Amino acid sequence: MTLGDPLPTTFLPRHVPPGRRTAVLLLTCPDTRGIVAAVAEFLARHGANIVEVDQHTDHHDGVFFQRVEFELAGFDLAPERVLEEFREVSERFSMECELRLPEQVARIGVLASRQPHCLLDLLARWRTGELHADIAFVASNHTDHAEACAFFGVPFHHLPNDLGKDVQEERLHALVDETGVELLVLARYMQVLSADFVARYPHGIINIHHSLLPAFVGAKPYHQAYERGVKVIGATAHYATEELDQGPIIAQDVARVTHRDSVEDLVARGRDLEALVLARAVRLHLAAKVLVYGGRTVVFG
Amino acid sequence: MTLGDPLPTTFLPRHVPPGRRTAVLLLTCPDTRGIVAAVAEFLARHGANIVEVDQHTDHHDGVFFQRVEFELAGFDLAPERVLEEFREVSERFSMECELRLPEQVARIGVLASRQPHCLLDLLARWRTGELHADIAFVASNHTDHAEACAFFGVPFHHLPNDLGKDVQEERLHALVDETGVELLVLARYMQVLSADFVARYPHGIINIHHSLLPAFVGAKPYHQAYERGVKVIGATAHYATEELDQGPIIAQDVARVTHRDSVEDLVARGRDLEALVLARAVRLHLAAKVLVYGGRTVVFG
Amino acid sequence: MTLGDPLPTTFLPRHVPPGRRTAVLLLTCPDTRGIVAAVAEFLARHGANIVEVDQHTDHHDGVFFQRVEFELAGFDLAPERVLEEFREVSERFSMECELRLPEQVARIGVLASRQPHCLLDLLARWRTGELHADIAFVASNHTDHAEACAFFGVPFHHLPNDLGKDVQEERLHALVDETGVELLVLARYMQVLSADFVARYPHGIINIHHSLLPAFVGAKPYHQAYERGVKVIGATAHYATEELDQGPIIAQDVARVTHRDSVEDLVARGRDLEALVLARAVRLHLAAKVLVYGGRTVVFG
Amino acid sequence: MTLGDPLPTTFLPRHVPPGRRTAVLLLTCPDTRGIVAAVAEFLARHGANIVEVDQHTDHHDGVFFQRVEFELAGFDLAPERVLEEFREVSERFSMECELRLPEQVARIGVLASRQPHCLLDLLARWRTGELHADIAFVASNHTDHAEACAFFGVPFHHLPNDLGKDVQEERLHALVDETGVELLVLARYMQVLSADFVARYPHGIINIHHSLLPAFVGAKPYHQAYERGVKVIGATAHYATEELDQGPIIAQDVARVTHRDSVEDLVARGRDLEALVLARAVRLHLAAKVLVYGGRTVVFG
């Protein structure tokens, strides 16, 4: 089965989200008077119906963040001309800004190793229509998930470790380019990507780490957690950056544990956390609700 | 000790919040185009520096809600003239609107019965500067808390049940009028207030109910929870309305319980929940972050 | 694909649980002196190595509960003779007791309707070796999940509503009898089972209800939750009893929600809760960790 | 006001816990067959009515832990003779064991600095009868809390930093000796105790650290958490050991935070966590429910 084949009926989404097409304007600038009015006035003048506005001011650093989602119906500018026309505003306030079209289904690529839980969770959410994205490919350094990918109807690529990291990463770059994916999701991918690889996709790679960062960076965090005797474990989804486990945190969640939980129990409890936290982070990213600033994120919930 | 006496040094706040004086404009109106721009333009024209904006659109009912907090420094309208000048905007969009001055320290009155935990928690938060309000009086149908109120420096009024509900409530009305309190907090006050009493303070009375409403309304919710064998208990802070335990919910929180927890254990676990949830709701109300609509609340967190 | 076919490699469990074969003795009796000693002495005399003991005394009702898990290696009684030999103890203390062999893989049957999330979650947990049970069949009043069941290698039975409830339930009884399943799991099965059907499997049917019972019994609990404006939603796994949504609660979990969450959002948030809570309850049941008493459960975590 | 004075009526406990006097036997030994039976038989032989048994086997290290709580009424050994008589069992299994009498009200000493929240919380819990211990003294390097201690009726000792750490700690040792306290509670005491001081009270000092250890050890953990951009903060109660923030963890709890929370907000959110987690740990310790093993704790909840 490949993309385009009829889906197993299990996965026919029964709740069709409203056809409303929207655009999202994301902007960051030094905080000053008049920003909100200028942005709102620009959008009103062009007939935009604003669906949702979120904003945040970091009073400590004097930085303003805004996310404005508006309907494209009735808006008198073509998406590709928005930022150009908006320049009158964005230059006045020294804004960095970006236009995203979240209802345009994004394409994502998933990297996995042998553990299936995060991958299966993403595949199921995709197929039940919950993900608002297309999974364009799955790549793995093992072959275990080839059949599952076939069942779910997504192309699977085997990139064995024998290839060496350089070739593996070359092939990944090629896959990204061919498929036009905007986001790579590391679904418990146990290979460390090179700094060069990561640098090519700033805020374009989401990783799930199986601890509540910054606790227990690196290998075997559940073993570390067991040894330290913690009463709470967690999982962290973050953008991958060149420094391992140091990227901006998008989402975290926790579970209580006790002395009764062996390392294996922590691993099992953690699986559910990892799948949930990763899915939450991917959804937030796809909805253009995450802004990165100074190594931290602004997440408009 | 009375209000105005020097405080025990335990309670001298060490973190003084910034002197920034702000106003909050709360508005509700039918959803349509141009609201955000019109409000922002009005404020910008009068020199307001917007500190925080929250808004919400109930797409189902087509209603728009907004909370705008702006600095009074540099704003060219006196607070008492804001709504009048704003009429050009508010009438155009059929807004209900309200101006609050949250940094102006509000006055609240607290009603309690014999249980001390919620009352002590509020008194301690007040005295450590965490509450951003003055507790103008405590009233109770018992005398137990007279000494604690003296220690914390707040006038205590005994309104025994012998007086009968009519006289009790008359005296409460008089206390409210004399002290100018804006909010009554029922800190485990075990008397049912009459519908007439409640009707006089719409969204002006916050109650804490010791269950996760709508489960276990009425008396002895922990006994009910124990009998039903639930694995989660909770507490609910809500505005009191004429119908018991049916008012708009402001805040809820939960705790896990097991078969090991007796009714007494649930009561003890619940005390911590009740105090925390009540304090959270009072703080949200005082910060003008709660809007009521159709029996529900919009809570800008 | 049918049971017995080679599994897709995604599902080859990589963590093989220790081969240790254990038995569980579950007992309930009036609380008195000497129970613990008598049980421990009996087991020690027969060479049992106790792996885990949990016990609970309901001091209010004067009832004692115990779960003793012991290794079969070295134990000098065959499983089928244990209760008979134990009679000297069980009669002395008027015990109700039961022997379970949890490491013996149980067989379960799953009933589903159109929603896939709980079913897929159980199938994936089964196939990744997390469930410690075999799914012997899936039955549904719809055909949607036939292909997914084929992929996961589990027999699928279509029992359309056209058959009428009597025939549907007859066929279910037949399936249970043929396959020897010990537990029926209602994975968002939207048909109400008859009281007669339920009565035949006391504490043998686990249902997931999509609210935090006893709040929002019956239909459309997320709509009810939205209307009431709650700030916390939940899911409840319970044994089905003749009275709808009134059975003993095994597990519950919660998620915070806000005014921003539409009914559809609550439904989506709830899906994750439902799958997790149902899986947790099924695992607890399969591990013989749930005792029912007076409409409540003792759950040894 | 001093200990022994009549209490303010706010603090008269209304729920009097049952007069049942119990003892707790705590034991640790290499895991082997027959332990449970031998202990239970010993207690049964001496007429003990067992109220609660908890046990745990660390299968990885082969260690067995047990907590047995039994009523003293009907038990034919005086508390001081129990361990001696029990030697027949304890030597056979190479047990380390301890007898505690948790219903005997323990005496604790509290150390605080300027922040009042943990101290006030403990004082209020003590005075409302929730703590099952007497607070024998409060000592502080500041004078701020003298009046609050007077109100709550507990002796206050000022040990200014001018004294130098050696003298401060000498005086603390003297206080501990004079008052016979069994437990020192560091209620946000901001002085680092010397390794010598700590070594004198193994598992006799409970500290609250304002992070989810092992994340953010050392100073200003909320600043560190803010800088890292975490989405979850926490508090950790642990036994103080010679290495700062490395002692065995007794209890932890967490709260979700967002980009909206400033450092001051984290501090404020954290205060509630710290008070709750510290109180929970102190209660667990006083109920003889905490065993320490290999730098970790077994906490019988």
- Please give the full DSSP string across A92-121, using - where no structure is assigned: HTT-EEEEE-TTSPEEEEEEE-S--HHHHH
Nearest-CA distance D51 → chain C (Å)? 7
Q: C197 or C73, which is more confident?
A: C197
pLDDT score for A129: 83
Q: What is the pLDDT of residue B101?
A: 84
| A50/B36 CB distance under 8 A | yes
> Is C50:D36 a contact under the CB 8 Å cutoff?
yes
Confidence of residue C244 (pLDDT cuts 50, 70, 90): confident
Q: List the structure tokens of D231.
A: 């989405």
Nearest-angstrom CA–CA distance, C262 and C258: 9
Q: In whole angstroms, what is the distance from residue A113 CA to residue A141 CA?
A: 6
Of B56, B263, B295, the CB nearest to C229: B295
Does B183 contact chain C (CB < 8 Å)?
no
Which pairing describes strands C49-58 and C63-71: parallel, antiparallel, or unpaired? antiparallel
Chains meeting B at 3+ CB pairs closer than 8 A? Answer: A, C, D
**The token pair that represents B192 in the structure block:** 């049912």
D144·B9 Cβ contact <8 A: yes
* pLDDT attached to residue A3: 38
The complex's ipTM works out to 0.92
- Give the SS3 label for residue B270: helix
Q: Is the pLDDT of residue C3 over 70?
A: no
Taking 70 as the threshold, does the pLDDT of residue C199 lie above it?
yes
**pLDDT averaged over every residue in chain B:** 91
Amino acid present at D159: L
Give the per-residue pLDDT at C103.
64
Nearest C-alpha of chain B: how many angstroms from C59? 9
Judge whether C240 and C198 are in contact, CB under 8 Å.
Answer: yes
Tens-digit pLDDT profile for residues C158-174: 999 999 999 999 999 99
CATH for the stretch B22-100:
3.30.70.260
Tokens of B38: 């019109």
Across the interface, whether the CB atoms of C36 and D34 are under 8 A apart is answered no
* A171-179 own/partner pairs: CB under 8 Å, 24+ apart: A171/A139, A172/A109, A172/A111, A172/A139, A172/A197, A173/A197, A173/A200, A175/A109, A175/A137, A175/A139, A176/A109, A176/A201, A179/A107, A179/A109, A179/A136, A179/A137
Q: What is the pLDDT of residue A9?
A: 58
pLDDT for B51 equals 85
Cβ proximity of A298 and A284 under 8 Å: no
Q: What is the pLDDT of residue B20?
A: 65
Question: What DSSP character marks residue D104?
Answer: S
Distance of alpha carbon A53 from alpha carbon A68, whole angstroms: 5
Q: Scanning the structure block, which residue is given the tokens 């899915």? A: A279
Sole residue written with tokens 């996965």: A11
Cβ of D251 and A229 within 8 Å?
Answer: no
CB–CB of B258 and C296 under 8 A?
Answer: no
pLDDT in tens, D198-228: 999 999 999 999 999 999 998 999 999 999 9
D76 touches chain C (CB under 8 A): no
Of C58, C245, C253, C265, catalytic: C245
Q: How confident is the model at residue D6 (pLDDT cuts 50, 70, 90)?
A: very low
Chain C contact partners (≥3 CB pairs within 8 A): A, B, D
Confidence of residue D4 (pLDDT cuts 50, 70, 90): very low
Rounded percentage of chain D residues whose pLDDT exceeds 70: 93
Give the start-end residues of each E strand in chain B. Answer: 22-30, 49-58, 63-71, 96-100, 106-112, 133-140, 156-158, 183-186, 205-209, 232-239, 249-256, 290-293, 296-299
**Per-residue confidence of chain B (301 residues) as pLDDT tens digits?**
333 344 555 554 433 344 468 899 999 999 998 898 999 999 999 999 888 889 999 988 999 999 999 988 889 999 889 999 999 999 999 999 999 986 677 899 999 999 999 999 999 999 888 888 899 999 999 999 999 999 899 999 999 999 999 999 999 999 999 999 999 999 999 999 999 999 999 999 999 999 999 999 989 999 999 999 999 999 999 999 999 899 999 999 999 999 999 999 999 999 999 999 999 999 999 999 999 999 999 999 8
Pairing relation of β-strands C290-293 and C249-256?
unpaired
User: Residue C20: its pLDDT value, please?
Assistant: 66
Residues of chain A in contact with residue B36, where contact means CB-CB under 8 angstroms, are 36, 40, 44, 50, 53
A255 and B CB contact within 8 Å: no
Band (D128; pLDDT cuts 50, 70, 90): confident
Range name among C95-104, C134-143, D164-173 with the lowest pLDDT average: C95-104
Tell me the pLDDT band of D11, cut-offs 50, 70 and 90. Answer: low
Summarize pLDDT for B248-286 with one digit per residue, the tens.
999 999 999 999 999 999 999 999 999 999 999 999 999
Is C16 a residue whose pLDDT tops 50?
Answer: no
- Count of CB atoms situated within 10 Å of the CB of C88: 10
Give the C-alpha separation, D282 to C279, whole Å: 34
The distance of Cα B12 from the centroid of its chain, to the nearest Å, equals: 24
Q: Residue D33 and residue C53: Cβ atoms within 8 Å? A: no
pLDDT given for residue C10 in this prediction: 58
Predicted pLDDT at B211? 97
Q: Is residue D274 over pLDDT 80? A: yes
Chain A residue numbers with beta carbons less than 8 Å from the beta carbon of D213 are 215, 228, 230
Residues whose CB is less than 8 angstroms from the CB of residue B45 and which lie 6 or more positions away in sequence, other chains included? none
Q: Comparing C-alpha atoms, which of A186, A178, A174 is closest to residue A141?
A: A186
Asked if the C-beta of D101 comes within 8 angstroms of chain C's C-beta atoms, the answer is no
Contact of A223 with chain D, judged by CB distance below 8 Å, is answered with no
Give every CB contact of residue D164 below 8 A, 6+ residues apart in sequence. Answer: none
Quote the pTM value: 0.93
Q: Can you give the pLDDT at residue B11?
A: 53
| Of A31, A54, A144, A245, catalytic | A245
Tell whether C260 lies on the interface with D, counting CB pairs under 8 A.
no
Q: Do C231 and B249 touch (CB under 8 A)?
A: yes
Are the beta carbons of D128 and B144 separated by less than 8 Å?
no
Chains touching chain A at 3 or more Cβ pairs under 8 angstroms? B, C, D
B51 neighbourhood in chain A, CB within 8 Å: 57, 59
Residues on chain A touching D297 (C-beta within 8 angstroms): 229, 259
Of B34, B49, B52, nearest to A33 by CB-CB distance is: B49
**C170 in contact with A at a CB cutoff of 8 Å?**
no
Burial of C243 (0-12, 13-18, 19+ CB in 10 A): exposed
Q: How big, in percent rounded to 5, are the helix, strand and coil portions of chain D?
A: 35, 30, 40
Q: CB-CB: which of B59, B212, B258 is closest to C212?
A: B212
Which helix or strand (DSSP H or E) is residue A87 part of? helix A87-92
Higher pLDDT among residues B122 and C14, named by residue: B122
pLDDT of amino acid A12: 45
* Amino acid A131: pLDDT: 86
The CA distance from B1 to the nearest CA of chain A, in Å, is 39
- Nearest chain B residue to A49 by CA distance is B33
Task: Give the minimum alpha-carbon distance from B44 to chain A in angstroms, rounded to a whole number.
Answer: 6
Please report where in the chains the tokens 């540099």 appear, as a residue. B74
Helix (H, G, I), strand (E, B) or coil at D73: coil
Chain C to chain D Cβ contacts (< 8 Å): 51
Q: What are phi and psi of C258, to 5 degrees?
A: -130, 180
State the DSSP code for B10.
Answer: G
Q: Quick check: B49 contacting A, CB < 8 Å?
A: yes
B300/B66 Cα distance (integer angstroms): 9
Count Cβ atoms below 10 Å from residue D75 Cβ, excluding itself: 18
**Per-position pLDDT tens, chain A of length 301:** 333 344 555 554 433 344 468 899 999 999 998 898 999 999 999 999 888 889 999 988 999 999 999 988 889 999 889 999 999 999 999 999 999 986 677 899 999 999 999 999 999 999 888 888 899 999 999 999 999 999 899 999 999 999 999 999 999 999 999 999 999 999 999 999 999 999 999 999 999 999 999 999 989 999 999 999 999 999 999 999 999 899 999 999 999 999 999 999 999 999 999 999 999 999 999 999 999 999 999 999 8
Is the CB of D22 inside 8 Å of chain A's CB atoms?
A: no
Q: How far apart are CA C250 and CA C237, in angstroms?
A: 6
C148 touches chain A (CB under 8 A): yes
Whether B50 and chain A come into contact, CB under 8 Å, resolves to yes
Q: Give the pLDDT confidence score for residue A73 in this predicted structure.
A: 87
Question: Which residue type sits at A297?
Answer: T
Query: Which runs of consecutive H residues, i.e. helices, occur in chain D?
Result: 35-45, 79-85, 87-92, 117-127, 146-152, 165-179, 195-199, 221-228, 263-286
Q: Between chains, do A44 and B36 touch, taking CB under 8 Å as contact? A: yes
Tell me which residue in A15, A144, A264 faces C9 most closely, judged by beta carbons: A144
**How many angstroms separate the CA atoms of A134 and A114, rounded?**
22
Domain ranges in chain C? 22-100, 106-299
C62 touches chain D (CB under 8 A): no
CATH topology of domain A106-299: Rossmann fold (3.40.50)
Q: What pLDDT is attached to residue B295?
A: 94
With an 8 Å Cβ cutoff, are D10 and B130 in contact? no
The reply to whether C278 touches chain B by the CB within 8 Å rule is no
Burial of B158 (0-12, 13-18, 19+ CB in 10 A): middle
Q: With contact defined as beta carbons under 8 Å apart, do A251 and A260 qualify?
A: no
Residues of A in contact with B55 (CB under 8 A): 52-53
